[in-house]
Amino acid sequence: MDVKQLTALVAVADAGSVTRAAELLHLVQPAVTRQIHTLEQELGVPLFERSRAGMELTESGRLMLERARRVLSELERARAEIRPNPGVLQGIVTVGLLASTAELLAEQLVTTVLQEHPAVRLRIVSGYAGHVRQWLDAGDIDLGLLYNVKSASTLNVRPLLAEKLWAVAPPDSGLDIGRPVTLNEVASHPVVMPSAPHGIRTLVAAACTRLDIGLNIVVETNEVGVQKRLVRAGHGWTILPGIAVADDVGAGLLSAAPLHSPAVERTVALALPSTPKIPPAVHAVADLLVHQMREAVDRGDWPSAHWMLDK
């Protein structure tokens, strides 16, 4: 098994055909076919199902693809971290942002890293807290934002800020960020929610249990953009952090108000793997992300949030 075989596997899986993969790799088609065939012989299982429609991964192929991506990523990182110029911070850093924070944080983080550490290559992924935790545990990202995680044996967790969740409704519902609404009011409407076990669903479910409230959940989706579009289309209300909807409210696309009776808060934390050797570039990006988040809170760009780290 060698790097060329793993590269061919990833290319064919992404392209869906040997012909397209060969074009992307600047190789002739028989060379790519040979690399895949040799890898399958070594493993003793087929990695692709071949059909007129293209190349589709088998179950074994999907498992191998996951490992191949990780191996190639680590090799790329090793190349980037070999420092021909001592004192120059460089490397590849993969950051996992909560989907609700990506719009506020991603662009500024990229800009700042390019300005202060131009030899650091940044990768940004976003998802719900459950996704970010899975990526951290699997080693797919170097640092990430989580919420309501106080401790974990595999992670070093630093709580940064707390923020209130908001009720979110279509623009004609009359919600106002200056007039909080109760969870009972939300429960009187159909609701669109993330599916369990993602964090906001867990937080809201716990609050409903305390008040013996049942929600009429009509749709579940684990994509924030879809969640907001469904609300705009009139399929129900939802519950999200203010940061996820502030721009939509300002543009008149949604209406929203902080929850009270009870107020439901989430604590956003920075998480890094609890390993003794964290690359300097990862620490540098983590520090920039924390500084950027603090500035966003101080400017008022992070609605209903208060900073916790210095307490």
Per-residue confidence (pLDDT) for residue 24, from 0 to 100: 87
Question: Six-digit token pair at 148?
Answer: 């309501």
Q: How far apart are CA 188 and CA 208, in angstroms?
A: 13
Kindly report, residue by residue over 20-36, the tens digit of the pLDDT: 898 888 888 999 999 99
309 backbone dihedrals φ, ψ, rounded to 5° = -60, -35
Q: How far apart are CA 190 and CA 229, in angstroms?
A: 15
Per-residue confidence (pLDDT) for residue 174, from 0 to 100: 87
Q: How far apart are CA 169 and CA 254, in angstroms?
A: 6
Kindly report, residue by residue over 103-114, the tens digit of the pLDDT: 899 999 999 999
Give the DSSP letter string of 125-192: EEE-HHHHHHHHHHTS-SEEEEES---BTTEEEEEEEEEEEEEEE-GGG--BTTB-EEHHHHHTSEEE
Position 40: which residue type? E
Per-residue confidence (pLDDT) for residue 100, from 0 to 100: 87
Q: How far apart are CA 186 and CA 215, in angstroms?
A: 8
Is a pLDDT exceeding 70 seen at residue 86? no
Residue 85's alpha-carbon distances to 76, 88, 116, 145, 175, in angstroms, are 18, 6, 16, 31, 56
Position 1: which residue type? M
Kindly report, residue by residue over 248-272, the tens digit of the pLDDT: 999 999 999 999 888 888 999 999 9
Q: How far apart are CA 195 and CA 42, in angstroms?
A: 40
pTM: 0.73
Q: Residues of the chain with pLDDT > 70: what percent?
A: 95
Per-residue confidence (pLDDT) for residue 198, from 0 to 100: 72
| CA angle 308–204–217, rounded 5-degree value | 150
Per-residue confidence (pLDDT) for residue 76, from 0 to 100: 78
Residue 183's alpha-carbon distances to 7, 110, 205, in angstroms, are 51, 37, 11
Task: Extract the runs of DSSP E, i.e. beta strands, from the chain.
Answer: 48-51, 54-57, 91-98, 120-127, 143-147, 155-169, 181-182, 190-193, 216-220, 238-241, 255-260, 265-273, 305-307
Kindly report, residue by residue over 123-162, the tens digit of the pLDDT: 999 988 888 988 898 888 999 999 887 667 788 999 999 9
Q: How far apart are CA 148 and CA 235, in angstroms?
A: 29
